[in-house]
Amino acid sequence: MKFKVFFTLAFGLLLFAQQGVAQTQKKQQTQLVKYKKNVAAPLTAKEMGMLQEVYQDKLQTYVLSNPQRVKDFKHLLRNRVSIKKIPSLVGNKNKYQLISDAGLFNNYNGTLVMDKSYDPSTFNVLKYNLQFFGIGSSIYRIDNTEYFIIIKSQTITK
């Protein structure tokens, strides 16, 4: 009986201590996103095709019916994502993540498949589960290529 009471108290104390640590951690301050003027233009056919491939029949509901979401995707595709060939970075595996490790964003289209090679005319960065809206910038290598997806932070750091 004493062991039950002891373990219950120890467990409660542990939970209390964890809550105290979580409450004292410094929160990241959010900043406003600064959009460039090019987000005022309508979605291009290529951008619409990329969104359609990923969202399928949910495109209208989850993206197009929300003007802010459309603006965020235009900003992402036009200003924040770039794909560059960087042969010198290939051997430095601690600086990037492979897109195959990130996986597919197939919540709305279960038939999406990983690209076996990189073709700039057909590559759809949106079909991968990349950190587009996280804090900070990210870099991903397109598997078996010297091409890297660079995702710039959506906020401007001071």
Residue 53 lies in a domain: yes
3-state secondary structure of 82: strand
Residue 1 lies in a domain: no
Residue 156 lies in a domain: no
* Angle ∠(54,139,27) on CA atoms, nearest 5: 95
Calpha distance 134→123 (Å, rounded) = 22
The pLDDT mean for the chain works out to 85
Residue 28 lies in a domain: no
Query: pLDDT by residue (tens digit) across 105-129?
Result: 999 999 999 998 899 999 999 999 9
Query: pLDDT by residue (tens digit) across 73-92?
Result: 999 999 999 999 999 998 88
Residue 11 lies in a domain: no
DSSP for 97-141 reads: EEHHHH-B--SS-TT----SS--TTT--GGGB---SSSSS-EEEE
Residue 12 lies in a domain: no
Global confidence as pTM: 0.76
Q: How many domains does the chain have?
A: 1
What is the per-residue pLDDT for 21?
Answer: 44
Q: Evaluate if residue 158 carries a pLDDT over 90.
A: no
Residue 8 lies in a domain: no
Report residue 29's pLDDT band, with 50, 70 and 90 as the boundaries.
low
What is the per-residue pLDDT for 2?
Answer: 59
Q: Which domain holds residue 135?
A: 33-151
Residue 88 lies in a domain: yes
